[in-house]
């Protein structure tokens, strides 16, 4: 967006608003036209008046039965909700589990616990394999979404033979608990898991949505406890997004900052009701909230109720937060965006620094997610690491996986996503710690075979600078959000000074509990249950309807008319949503755009992005690595050789190729027998050497192999890989050059040199290319 002058900005805002309004009406008209298309093209019609009568009579009988079964399903939903509340809202996991540690008993207690999942019948886990620890979101709902079905994150990890642990939480917080206490408790859980599996590598930590950034916090304060991090649909860069696509990013501004959360907490006698967060999610899609999900239930009443009831059990389980927790979250994340800036404090003077995380990170997002858009999932990388060189110098491996269409909840609960994306993630995890530092894009290729579908993962090197294409206007549209932070601080201070002293004493815990009971999210459930005497006859009527079910003609004109009207109603709700979101966005930029210009605010992202790639050569990590360019051992020589060959390639790495390489030479390289931290340091050091001094790295390679036996072993490994691993012309030329250089040395120094060479060199192989080989590779890389 051209933010050159204030007038130009205001003009651009008005143009965007008008364009969005016009687009909304065009989408509405297109949807209505599509809905009426069967009728405009002649439409379904009965052949005779008698056929029309039969269709209508059958339709209305079916309609009456469907209506009865529909209301009975809502009655059952209400009863399920009441039973779940009475049971204490236990985790909705599709697996049995055993309690391992209850953080309510810790020195700094919190309402969290660690459980171990029991493998279902027919599945065995291997205690020698690295464990998985899954952290579910605590964002209004209860725990269980990561193991909601057999085909889930829990299910795919169990099928792969991994022990699986799950972090659950209880409905009510321990009074006074704060986010730092939660992070410490989760770190203790990881320490316990590590002690239970001392012979395995560090546990894989899987974080969903809010559990994603919670996992990152643990990784930042206790980096030595975590293995690879898998972050699914987690917002990390909260101001990011695109106009017309991500309305939730404006919520903090239009509500005036953090004070509404503080007010809601005071109405709850110091606790924040998670039902408010659920209302925020439902606000995003009113068509689904008020019509689509109920019409889907009605139209598929013979098959849909069980799926509907299963999901509603989780969706209707509302959990509470402590006032201090929600205040920290809103102030530091949604309003302040402090996490990516390294300014979110977990104790006085100590902030979470995500650069402290040394474990590989997989970021999984979706273009169809309007709660956590890809910009919010990925932009924090560019905030922390302004250049690719900065990311590599820190030794970080980050992998981005993008789904094209699935919605926010589908990332966690979709069985298809579990079978495809999460299964491949589990497969890839064991290879992440041996990747050279950098940013990678992850793609899943599928090939149909006679036995089904076979998948392969492709990792492609990317540049951090490329992340800018995710967001319009070069992220300058984030400037007004800094004004929101200033306004929020002012209003929160006023609330704490003048309003809270009056409100807080008026609401006791008993009064807050009554108020929560009459929250609309809860009323719609218990009011349509057996607690309501008017729902009494529904159960018997539903049984009668099932016993005498008379289904309608799905291809008849009455059903066609119903579907047409339903599509029109849904399109009308979508039109309302689009116009509402456009108005909110317009008001946001009008208000805070003006404020940001008045305050002379410069965006944090722009202020942070001053580090140039050239200066990274002087970074301590780089200088230290380059100083040891001629030092090393056979393992470092093998790693350097592999990195040089990779650098000459296309930047693409296939998981199938990594598996073959590990099978052929993995045990001989030595990395697999090392602690992950030592192996990671070796790979990082050699990666920096190859990136900054590829020519010297190659020429110094023989110095890392002090004996003829060491050189012969490397040559033998190269020979074992050749022809079995895909390579391009530049890589093959480089391998020949390395072979000839090392073979000549072996022949010169080893007794019976000709025999030694014969063991590792194919006599029919073409000689190395001339001196232009290296220059060509450097240009290609």
Q: What is the pLDDT of residue 432?
A: 95
| 274 CB-near residues (< 8 Å, 6+ apart) | 139, 140, 141, 318, 319, 320, 321
**For position 758, what pLDDT does the model report?**
30
Q: Are 686 and 639 in contact (CB under 8 A)?
A: yes
Distance between CA atoms of residues 331 and 488, nearest Å: 8
> Parallel, antiparallel, or unpaired: how do β-strands 452-462 and 652-654 relate?
antiparallel
What's the whole-number mean pLDDT along residues 384-389? 92
Query: Does the structure show a pLDDT above 90 at 4?
Result: no
Q: Is the distance from CB of 253 to CB of 480 less than 8 angstroms?
A: yes
Range 289-294 average pLDDT: 98
> Can you read off the two tokens belonging to residue 28?
């509405």
In the chain, % of residues over pLDDT 90: 73
- The helix (run of H) or strand (run of E) holding residue 114 is strand 112-117
- Across the range 192-216, mean pLDDT stands at 96
CATH number, residue 392 = 3.40.50.1820
Q: Could you tell me if residue 507 is inside a domain?
A: no
Q: Is 568 contained in some domain?
A: no
The DSSP call for residue 102 is E
pLDDT band for position 605 (50/70/90)? very low
Tell whether 118 is covered by a domain: yes
Mean pLDDT over 222-228 rounds to 96
The model carries a pTM of: 0.91
Length, in residues, of the chain: 781
11 — pLDDT class (breaks 50, 70, 90): confident
Q: Is the pLDDT of residue 217 over 50?
A: yes
780 — pLDDT class (breaks 50, 70, 90): very low
User: Would you say residue 447 has pLDDT above 60?
Assistant: yes
Local structure of residue 421 (DSSP, 8 states) = I
Among 422, 447, 470, identify where a domain stops. Answer: 470
Report pLDDT digits (tens) over 636-653. 999 999 999 999 988 899
pLDDT digits 0-9 by tens, 483-524: 999 999 999 999 999 999 999 999 999 999 999 999 999 999
pLDDT tier, 183 (very low <50, low <70, confident <90, very high otherwise): very high
Give the per-residue pLDDT at 722. Answer: 85
Reported in sequence order, the residue ranges of 635-710 that DSSP labels E, i.e. its strands, are 652-654
Q: Is pLDDT of 684 > 60?
A: yes
- Rounded Cα distance between 599 and 486, Å, is 10
How does residue 1 score in pLDDT terms, banded at 50, 70 and 90?
Answer: very low
Q: 511-515, 561-565, 715-719: lowest mean pLDDT where?
A: 715-719
pLDDT for res 776: 38
Q: Report how far residue 602's alpha carbon sits from residue 471's, in angstroms, rounded to the nearest whole number.
A: 18
Across the range 95-101, mean pLDDT stands at: 98
Mean pLDDT for all residues in the chain: 89
Domain-located, residue 51: no
Picking from 745, 743, 739, 736, the residue whose alpha carbon sits closest to that of residue 766 is 736
Residue 707 domain boundaries: 619-780
Residue-level pLDDT at 759: 29
DSSP state letter for 317: -
pLDDT interval class at 756 (50, 70, 90): very low
Q: Is 147 part of any domain?
A: yes
Q: Is the pLDDT at 766 greater than 60, yes or no?
A: no
Mean pLDDT confidence for 470-482: 80
Q: For the chain, what is the domain count?
A: 2
Of the three residues 448, 470, 492, the one that is the final residue of a domain is 470
Residue 597 has what pLDDT? 54
Q: Is 347 helix (H, G, I), strand (E, B) or coil?
A: strand
Rounded average pLDDT over 309-320: 95
| 40 falls within a domain | no
Q: Is residue 576 part of a domain?
A: no
In which region does residue 236 sit, left (phi positive, over 0), alpha (psi from -120 to 50) or beta (all else)? Answer: alpha
Does residue 180 lie within any of the structural domains?
yes
- Provide the token pair at 632: 């090393």
Among 673-677, 679-683, 752-756, the minimum mean pLDDT is found in 752-756
The predicted pLDDT at position 761 comes to 34
Instruction: For residue 20, count other CB atoms closer than 10 A to its CB.
Output: 18
pLDDT at residue number 774: 39
Query: What is d(CA 377, CA 720) in angstroms, rounded to the nearest whole number?
Result: 41
Instruction: Select from 470, 503, 531 the last residue of a domain.
Output: 470
pLDDT digits (tens, 9 = 90+) for 47-75: 688 888 998 999 999 999 999 999 999 99
pLDDT at 618: 86
Whether the pLDDT of residue 691 is over 60: the answer is yes
Burial of 350 (0-12, 13-18, 19+ CB in 10 A): exposed
């Amino acid at each position: 967006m051209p933010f050159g002058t204030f007038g130009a900005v205001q003009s651009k805002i008005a143009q965007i608003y008008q364009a969005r309004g016009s687009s909304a009406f065009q989408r509405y008209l297109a949807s209505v036209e599509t809905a009426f298309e069967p009728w405009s093209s002649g439409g379904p019609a009965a052949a005779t008046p008698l056929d029309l009568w039969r269709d209508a009579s059958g339709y209305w009988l079916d309609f009456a039965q469907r209506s009865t079964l529909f209301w009975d399903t809502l009655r059952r939903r209400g009863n399920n909700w009441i039973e779940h509340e009475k049971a204490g809202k236990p985790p909705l996991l599709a697996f049995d589990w055993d309690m391992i540690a209850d953080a309510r008993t810790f020195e700094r207690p919190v309402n969290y616990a660690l459980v171990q999942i029991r493998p279902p019948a027919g599945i065995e886990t291997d205690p020698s394999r690295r464990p998985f620890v899954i952290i579910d979101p605590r964002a209004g709902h209860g725990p269980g979404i990561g193991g909601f079905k057999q085909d889930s994150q829990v299910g795919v990890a169990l099928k792969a033979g991994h022990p699986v642990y799950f972090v659950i939480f209880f409905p009510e917080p321990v009074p006074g608990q704060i986010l730092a206490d939660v992070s410490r408790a989760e770190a203790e859980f990881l320490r316990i898991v590590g002690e239970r599996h001392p012979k395995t590598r560090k546990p894989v930590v899987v974080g969903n949505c809010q559990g994603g950034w919670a996992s990152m916090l643990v990784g930042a304060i206790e980096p030595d406890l975590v293995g690879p991090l898998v972050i699914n649909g987690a917002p990390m860069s909260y101001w990011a997004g695109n106009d017309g696509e991500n309305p939730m990013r404006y919520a903090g501004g239009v509500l005036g900052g953090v004070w509404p959360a503080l007010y809601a907490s005071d109405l709850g006698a110091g606790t924040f009701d998670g039902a408010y967060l659920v209302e925020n999610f439902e606000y995003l899609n009113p068509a689904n909230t008020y019509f689509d999900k109920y019409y889907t239930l009605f139209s598929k009443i013979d098959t849909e109720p069980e799926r509907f009831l299963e999901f509603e059990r989780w969706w209707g389980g509302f959990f509470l937060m402590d006032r201090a927790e929600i205040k920290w979250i809103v102030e530091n994340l949604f309003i302040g965006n402090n996490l990516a800036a390294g300014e979110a404090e977990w104790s006085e003077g100590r902030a979470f620094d995500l650069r402290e995380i040394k474990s590989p990170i997989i970021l999984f997002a979706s273009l169809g997610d309007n709660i956590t858009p890809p910009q919010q999932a990925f932009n924090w990388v560019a905030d922390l690491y302004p250049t690719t060189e900065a990311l590599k110098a820190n030794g970080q491996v980050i992998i981005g996986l993008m789904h094209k269409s699935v919605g926010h909840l589908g990332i966690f609960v979709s069985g298809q996503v579990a079978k495809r994306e999460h299964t491949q993630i589990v497969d890839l995890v064991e290879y992440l710690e041996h990747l050279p530092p950098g940013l990678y894009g992850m793609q899943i290729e599928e090939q149909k075979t006679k036995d089904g579908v076979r998948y392969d993962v492709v990792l492609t090197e990317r540049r951090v600078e490329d992340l800018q294409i995710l967001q319009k206007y070069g992220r300058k549209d984030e400037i007004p959000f800094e004004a929101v932070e200033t306004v929020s601080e002012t209003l929160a201070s006023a609330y704490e000074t003048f309003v809270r002293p009056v409100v807080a004493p008026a609401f006791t815990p008993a009064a807050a509990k009554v108020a929560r009971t009459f929250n609309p999210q809860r009323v719609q459930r218990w009011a349509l249950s057996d607690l309501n005497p008017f729902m009494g006859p529904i159960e018997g009527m539903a049984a009668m309807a099932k016993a005498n079910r008379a289904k309608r003609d799905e291809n008849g004109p009455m059903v066609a008319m119903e579907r047409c009207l339903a599509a029109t109603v849904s399109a009308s709700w979508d039109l309302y949503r689009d116009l509402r979101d456009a108005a909110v966005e317009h008001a946001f930029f009008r208000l805070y755009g003006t404020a940001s210009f008045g305050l002379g605010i410069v965006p944090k992202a722009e202020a942070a992005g001053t580090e140039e790639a050239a200066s990274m050569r002087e970074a301590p990590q780089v200088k230290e690595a380059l100083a040891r360019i001629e030092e090393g051992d056979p393992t470092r020589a093998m790693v350097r050789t592999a990195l040089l060959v990779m650098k000459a390639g296309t930047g693409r790495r296939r998981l199938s190729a990594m598996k073959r390489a590990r099978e052929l030479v993995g045990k001989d390289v030595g990395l697999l027998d090392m602690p992950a931290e030592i192996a990671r340091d070796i790979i990082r050091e050699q990666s920096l050497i190859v990136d900054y001094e590829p020519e010297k790295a190659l020429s110094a390679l023989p110095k890392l192999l002090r004996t003829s036996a060491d050189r012969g072993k490397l040559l033998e490994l190269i020979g074992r890989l050749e022809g079995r691993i895909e390579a391009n012309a530049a890589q093959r030329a480089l391998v020949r050059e390395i072979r000839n250089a090392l073979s000549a040395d072996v022949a010169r120094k080893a007794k019976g040199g000709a025999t030694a060479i014969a063991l590792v060199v194919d006599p029919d192989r073409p000689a190395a290319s001339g001196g232009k080989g290296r220059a060509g590779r450097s240009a290609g890389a």
